[in-house]
Amino acid sequence: MGVNSRALVRRLRAWTIGAPVARGTTIQTTISEPERRFLLAFVRMGGESRPWGVAWKCGTAAVKYRTVGEPRMREFVDEMMEEIVEDLAKHLGHPSHAKLVDPSRKEFEQATLPQIWVPNSSHIDMLHFLAYAYARRRGDEDRDKTLRLLGRMGLHLFLESRRPGQQIIVDASKALRSAYDFPCEDSRQAHLGLLMAWLENRGSRDKGLSAALDAERLPIAISLDPELERKPLSDLVDDYNKTRKNRGKGDKATAKKIHDVLQPELERRIQLVTDTIRHIETDERPYNDGLLELEDVTRSHLYHDFLKREDQALKEGKEPYAPDPETDRDPRSATYRFYMNSASQDRERNALIHFDRELEAEAINDGSAFRGVITSVSEEGSGRTTVPVWTIEDPTPGALSLRQWDKVCIVGTPRRTAVIREILPTDDGRLEVVIEITNLKKSTDEPWPHSMAGTDQSWLGQAVTIIGTSFADMTEKKAFAALERNSAPGDWMITKVSPSRVQEDDE
């Protein structure tokens, strides 16, 4: 989380009052209905990339806890992880475990968006580790196929977690950071327990700080406290291995003792995620209306990037393709993912800013938007052509990244777009910006004052904020163009010329 000047002021205020302060006027993270949530947490042995234990809660069902006595034995971990596949596949709507619903159908409503909640980003990293272990696992036994599915699901979720604005895999600590500014350093704010301690111990700075320091001593990442691993777990694992024969499992009583040590660690992580959801849900602020667009895009990515491909492979009787969990391999794929993530970042910003005054203020502060009063409204069209032109005066201009001929829109009604004709600084330090309305020129069904026609003189004296338009759709077109297989690398960046035109030039 970068600290701009407004964020710095909020953090200083949080330190002054001794409690977190609201960040923004809306909640900027979707929370699906209870039956569409999947809470997930892992713990691992130090130095290992596979889980020692896993806990998950699917919808409103009870939490399930699974551990192994010796996490360095791959077959033990494989057996444990096999149990989670059915619940996770059903939750995501995988065609092998649930009926695949086309997103164009009415059944694909907002409530159908499945979410996976984890305590912090290290648990998302574990999904990547699982993709390494299982996505391209060899073998034709049922367990092999099941674990390959787990690897593909983990890889899709991990890749989605890197796409800005996605709403399917939720880092609980990141969700809290998007809703509040906390009186502590950025480097400490990945600890979900610390954040919840600040939120639940308001009243005085000393009280909140003491609770936060105590909570911070208890790990919530996938790694355990080294002291806990040294004793009693290290001795218990040694005892367990002494009872094993021919790579088989060890004493059940010792395995139960290991489980009894690990389960409270998993319980704490799951409970913190539950508390996070409860705290956000009880916040008085409304959800940002721009989340509806981000949810639609998330559903589209889930369907087209994962479920549809899996369904097609299953119908053809083939093993679904698993991308390389390490790298894109193909430069076209790398280009595609780069542009899709760029488009998602642009879409997230432009979807949320129209419904949150604090995000609007931050955009003005960083120079990507400006706010002023309309001082002139004119009509420069002729006949049936309408060309509304506004002059907007910014009395206290700051740095501005917008330039002449940039495409912009009015904050609050993104469909009313315009183009900047002129940017004119005045002698007394003001800034006059002349824009031409290019869309929604006539009256609309938007809330007032955006319902007025672009040429309505009632716009005079109205304060408006202008920001650059989203280029997400155009960037996505670049992404798909990069995937074309009937062309040379990079030629999608060059203007295409028809063969006839080339022949004419040669002649």
**132-136 CB contacts, 8 Å cutoff, 24+ apart:** 132/49, 132/325, 132/326, 133/49, 133/50, 134/81, 135/322, 135/323, 135/325, 136/322, 136/324, 136/325
Q: What's the CA gap between 452 and 317, in Å, rounded?
A: 57
| Per-residue confidence (pLDDT) for residue 488, from 0 to 100 | 62
Nearest to 41 by CA among 132, 121, 139: 121
CB 360 within 8 A of CB 351: no
Intra-chain end-to-end CA distance of the chain, in Å? 59
Displacement of CA 349 from its chain's centroid (Å): 12
pLDDT at 501: 44
Ramachandran sector of residue 18 (left: φ over 0; alpha: ψ -120 to 50; beta: rest): left
Average pLDDT, stretch 79-93? 95
- Same structural domain, 186 and 168: yes
Distances (CA, A) of 111 to 29, 291, 352: 15, 13, 20
Highest mean pLDDT among 146-160, 234-248, 303-317, 395-409: 146-160
Average pLDDT over residues 103-115: 71
Domain boundary among 263, 298, 320: 320
Do 29 and 142 fall within a single domain?
yes
pLDDT at 503: 47
Give the model confidence (pLDDT) of 410-463 as tens digits: 999 999 999 999 999 998 889 999 999 999 999 988 889 999 999 999 999 999
The token pair at 181 is 């500014």
Q: Please indicate, yes or no, whether residues 220 and 198 belong to a single structural domain of this protein.
A: yes
Share above pLDDT 90 across residues of the chain, in percent, rounded to a whole number: 76
- Note whether 436 and 493 are same-domain residues: no
* Residues 340 and 197 occupy one common structural domain: no
The number of distinct structural domains making up the chain is 3
pLDDT, average across residues 263-278: 97
Q: What is the pLDDT of residues 462-496, one digit of tens each?
A: 999 999 998 898 999 988 888 876 666 566 555 45
Question: What is the extent of the structural domain holding 488?
Answer: 329-364+474-507
pLDDT for 39 beyond 80: yes
Residue 379 and residue 265 share a domain: no
Pair (375, 350) in one structural domain: no
Secondary structure percentages of the chain, helix, strand, coil, to 5: 45, 15, 40
Same domain, 67 and 135: yes
Q: Is the pLDDT of residue 505 over 60?
A: no
Render pLDDT for 370-416 as a digit per residue (tens, 0 to 9). Answer: 999 999 999 998 888 899 999 999 998 888 999 999 999 999 999 99
Euclidean distance between CA atoms 349 and 235, whole angstroms: 51
Q: Are residues 373 and 441 in the same domain?
A: yes
Residue 247 has pLDDT above 90, yes or no: no
Q: What is the CATH number of the domain that holds 449?
A: 2.40.30
Residues 154, 27, single domain; the answer is yes
In this model, does residue 196 exceed pLDDT 50? Answer: yes
Percentage with pLDDT > 70 across the chain: 93
> What pLDDT, on the 0 to 100 scale, is given for residue 98?
82
Same domain, 123 and 182: yes
Confidence band for 507, pLDDT divided at 50, 70 and 90: very low
Spatial distance between the Cα atoms of 214 and 172, rounded to a whole number of angstroms: 19
> Rounded to 5 degrees, what angle do the CA atoms 266, 269, 273 make?
140
Query: Are 158 and 257 found together in one domain?
Result: yes
> If you average pLDDT over every residue of the chain, what do you get?
91
Say what the pLDDT of residue 323 is. Answer: 87
